Structure 1
Amino acid sequence: MKTTTIKYTDLVESIAASLQYISYYHPADFIAHLARAYESEQSPAAKDAIAQILTNSKMSAMGHRPICQDTGIVNVFLKVGMDVRFEGFSGSLEDAINEGVRRGYNHPDNTLRASIVADPQFERKNTQDNTPCVVSMKIVPGDKLDITVAAKGGGSENKSKLVMLNPSDSVVDWVLKTVPTMGAGWCPPGMLGIGIGGTAEKAMAMAKESLMEDIDMYELQAKASGGAKLSKVEELRLELYEKVNALGIGAQGLGGLTTVLDIKINMFPTHAAGKPVAMIPNCAATRHAHFVMDGSGPVYLDPPSLDLWPKVQWMPDTQKSRRVNLDTLSKEEIATWKAGETLLLNGKMLTGRDAAHKRIQDMLPKVESLPVPSTNRVIYYVGPVDPVRDEAVGPAGPTTATRMDKFTEMMLAKTGLNGMIGKSERGPEAIEAIRNHKAAYL
């Protein structure tokens, strides 16, 4: 019987290297499907959004910097062969994986954002190294260690859904009713992973793991159009793909043809009394990789060819866009803006997310003024990655704006802000505050 020895140092290095890899390389199947979506898109706004995603993706691949400033919570899926032994471990297998996460996220040439907070209900203190990760493990026959790593952003994770349906209830109806309630904060176009059966926690686990599969919807469509016989799961995937895209949510919620690039479905036997169904979206920063350790040393993934990316180079349309100087912005100027207009911003802006808003809320009753003047200023809902090399600021993109909705009235009424920049839609409470204070949301 062959026995494989996996060394501690090799596992740690493999995890760290793979997390660096997925921070700046999209999977090839994602790029291929997104390029097809770009070619078929008819909506100018959605096509522009997809062009930005593709351009950003190639820049990340070339510069080895994160695709998205939210570099995610790490998920690791292990299949441990029963003939594998481990050498040099002073702690648990999970301890070794977390050391790999720690090193991967603190790489000096591409430092990734630490987003994990301990004591989530009370102190919510950042662990500073993005640990601990979430590890799922199966013991299987064989002498290999099969590893899938993923980094899941908060915007898409927060839109996860679980329902306990009756056995005769329609999964399709539930999905089509639920997806519009998710808004665009999950950053489409992406994927929907669906788990059906098992128990509540099993359905969620299946939905998450299904997102690690290759995107192959165009291949499935070709199979169907060629007259090949499809399985019932394949038929359900196709039906959901077509009907979800027909909802018209589109890239970044801007409408258009493509909300999802693929639908994945995993199933497991369940109790006769029910039908658990879980749905987890994956965002446009689809980050995962798979590799196998055989005891021969650390694993390093081969970089993709830059030829995989389509010849799409997004640039702002300076002729059709309005230039705005944030340093002199007034409510009178804001009143001339029109919905759907593209603005080119210049000048200084504030940054802050929900944690900063909560601190401001707690601070205002105790002080006469804030440490940083905010009258007639614009705040950008963003938490950038730390800069490296000669960067002035690391990768930065907007976070889900609805997290700030509960603070919007307070911020506009008491700090003098003129506007906010964020990702996707706002709720009724925030919209009413923006309207009442004649402010703007971009």
Structure 2
Amino acid sequence: MARPIREDDLIASISDALQFISYYHPADFVTSLAAAYDREESPAARDAIGQILTNSRMAAIGHRPMCQDTGIANLFFRIGINARIESARPLQEIADEAVRRAWLTESNPLRATVVSDPLFSRKNTGDNTPAMVHVEIVSGDTVSVHVAAKGGGSENKARFTVLNPSDSVTDWVLRTVEGLGAGWCPPGLIGLGVGGSADKAMAMAKEALLDPIDMPALRARGPASKLEEMRLDLFERINALGIGAQGLGGLTTVLDVKIRTFPVHAASQPVGLIPQCAADRHVAFTLDGSGPASFTPPDISLWPRELATGAAQGRRVDLDTLSAQEVASWKAGETLLLTGRLLTGRDAAHLRLTTMLDAGEPLPVDLKDRAIYYVGPVDAVGDEAIGPAGPTTANRMDKFLEPILSRTGLRVMVGKAERGPEAMETIARHGCAYLIAVGGAAYLVSKAIRSARVLAFHDLGMEAIHEFTVENMPVTVAVDAGGASIHRTGPLRWRRPAPA
């Protein structure tokens, strides 16, 4: 008879796994990203990859999150039909208790991101519950769990379609990836689920991202099946698009393409596509009743120690003396080093600000000639000014740009990824600028923040308006006051003919 698996062992194992993946990349991701850094020819993309690798090593050593978006917990259970879990609680409750314990760990608190009501109040649950639970009953008497944390930037770029059986999946994937922009924080992975039903295809796409990275080996030996041939072809064609790290233009957009398939109705071809960002976080364990799981960190020697970045060569900018004339002198693609007072604000804060403007109410902060950073930071621990504080996807704030810029005098925005066409026109019309920090380098970015305080909207938690004091915070001019965009010119420069 199988040994019973204690509820506490299952909870502790999941909780420890979620903490573990918050600061450790999988070894195969580190190795693949380091190889991409070595072969990258685009200076901007190489610098971005260098920052991501530096951040990853710092997070591994410091045991702090590699990304401020510590994600939603995705738990994939494979429960043996003969396994015995000593618990009277539903599996969802067990999973949620594990997530709660992980997110509220005092030595490394994770950012609470989940809101309870998706339609109306959208109130933060405060502990990142509930988890997204997937269960498969299999043979055997053990319980295996693959634990992943999925950030919103890449999750928001998930796509689904139902093609005709005669349509090309490859063509649809290429069109879709090219249209995703950089909000999913490449370089990363693309997971595909083909077949089954709508829900099955999407579940397969997400699970595919958990498979080991084996593209270097596949390229070296050549494909041994049509599916491997398709993976290799998509890998080459996606990278030939020239999107590059952070959408800046470069040789590497994806490190691997994963595909899972399932039998399907003769009239259908459902396809799910889910990208995985540079914060690739997952680990698996199996319990057999002998106790909780333990996790072995990757060898720190996997990370390159010395990485050349261009941040130290940037133009120094005093945020406390911003002027229209200075902002007009910045050019798309230029590196800046920001020093001074930097406001923060994301979706919820922007909604409140514009609502107050419409109602004729005074704003709680003066935005004139200021810079605002689209960020929801992790809480500080110890002597930190703030926890990991990387940028969020900027185009979610596009709809707020016109009222904010025209009625407050805001001068500069900082985020990640591209802005939409109308947003770029608005930025240029008001003589403003949009800058980007590297998504996936949150812990590294936080080291440039010397102090932090909440100025307004305390009830919004991580979405409250903070004021950071920063010193030499590296950013790139993404959209300058003339409307030029590095996210347009960079990929065009590095786009290559598709492989024959």
Tell me whether the two structures share a fold, i.e. TM-score over 0.5. Answer: yes
Identity value in percent: 60
Residue identity opposite 1:185 in structure 2: G
Alpha-carbon separation, structure 2, partners of 1:268 and 1:160: 19
Give the aligned partner of residue 136 of structure 2: 138
Residue identity opposite 1:134 in structure 2: M
Counterpart contact for 1:207–1:280, Cα < 8 Å: yes
Give the aligned partner of residue 24 of structure 2: 25
Matches within 5 A, 1:323-402: 323-402=316-395
Q: Secondary structure at the match of 1:84?
A: coil
From 273, 283, 286, the equivalent of 2:280 is 286
Structure 2: give runs of 5+ residues left out of the alignment. Answer: 436-500
Q: Deviation per CA, 1:24-76, whole angstroms, max 9, x where unpaired?
A: 00000000100110110000000000000000000000000000000001100
Matches within 5 A, 1:172-187: 172-187=170-185
Counterpart contact for 2:311–2:337, Cα < 8 Å: no
- The offset of 1:368, in angstroms, is 4.2
Alpha-carbon separation, structure 1, partners of 2:328 and 2:250: 28
Matches within 5 A, 1:41-60: 41-60=40-59
- The offset of 1:311, in angstroms, is 2.7
Give the aligned partner of residue 233 of structure 1: 227
From 276, 284, 303, the equivalent of 2:270 is 276
Alpha-carbon separation, structure 2, partners of 1:56 and 1:337: 27
Give the aligned partner of residue 82 of structure 1: 81
Q: Deviation per CA, 1:353-412, whole angstroms, max 9, x where unpaired?
A: 111101111122335421111110000000000111111101000000010000011110
Give the aligned partner of residue 260 of structure 1: 254
Alpha-carbon separation, structure 2, partners of 1:61 and 1:377: 34
Counterpart contact for 1:101–1:131, Cα < 8 Å: yes
Give the root-mean-square deviation of aligned CA atoms. 1.0
Q: Deviation per CA, 1:257-280, whole angstroms, max 9, x where unpaired?
A: 000000000000000001001100
Counterpart contact for 2:47–2:309, Cα < 8 Å: no
Alpha-carbon separation, structure 2, partners of 1:410 and 1:286: 36
Q: Deviation per CA, 1:310-354, whole angstroms, max 9, x where unpaired?
A: 233355543x31100000011111011111110000000110111
Counterpart contact for 2:195–2:263, Cα < 8 Å: yes
Q: Secondary structure at the match of 1:22?
A: helix
Alpha-carbon separation, structure 1, partners of 2:168 and 2:152: 28
Residue identity opposite 1:19 in structure 2: L
Counterpart contact for 2:356–2:362, Cα < 8 Å: no
Residue identity opposite 2:317 in structure 1: V
Counterpart contact for 1:109–1:388, Cα < 8 Å: yes
Give the 3 Å change call, closer, same or farther, for CA 368–97 of structure 1 in structure 2: closer
Q: Secondary structure at the match of 1:424?
A: coil
Q: Secondary structure at the match of 2:84?
A: strand
Q: Which moved more, 1:361-370 or 1:162-171?
A: 361-370
Alpha-carbon separation, structure 2, partners of 1:84 and 1:153: 32
Residue identity opposite 1:391 in structure 2: E
Alpha-carbon separation, structure 2, partners of 1:25 and 1:122: 35
Counterpart contact for 1:54–1:312, Cα < 8 Å: no
Give the aligned partner of residue 65 of structure 1: 64
Give the 3 Å change call, closer, same or farther, for CA 312–216 of structure 1 in structure 2: farther
Give the aligned partner of residue 421 of structure 2: 428
Residue identity opposite 2:256 in structure 1: D
Residue identity opposite 1:62 in structure 2: I
Q: Secondary structure at the match of 1:129?
A: coil
Q: Which moved more, 1:385-394 or 1:240-249?
A: 385-394
Alpha-carbon separation, structure 2, partners of 1:160 and 1:379: 28
Alpha-carbon separation, structure 1, partners of 2:311 and 2:372: 24
Counterpart contact for 1:401–1:424, Cα < 8 Å: yes
> How high is the TM-score relative to the length of structure 2?
0.86
- The offset of 1:119, in angstroms, is 1.0
Give the aligned partner of residue 321 of structure 1: 314
Alpha-carbon separation, structure 2, partners of 1:54 and 1:312: 10
Alpha-carbon separation, structure 2, partners of 1:274 and 1:290: 33
Counterpart contact for 1:55–1:314, Cα < 8 Å: no
Whether 1:162 aligns to 2:160 is: yes
Aligned residues: 435
Q: Deviation per CA, 1:185-222, whole angstroms, max 9, x where unpaired?
A: 00000000000000111000000000011111001111
> How high is the TM-score relative to the length of structure 1?
0.97
- The offset of 1:136, in angstroms, is 0.4
Q: Secondary structure at the match of 1:55?
A: helix
Q: Secondary structure at the match of 2:154?
A: helix
Give the 3 Å change call, closer, same or farther, for CA 314–67 of structure 1 in structure 2: farther
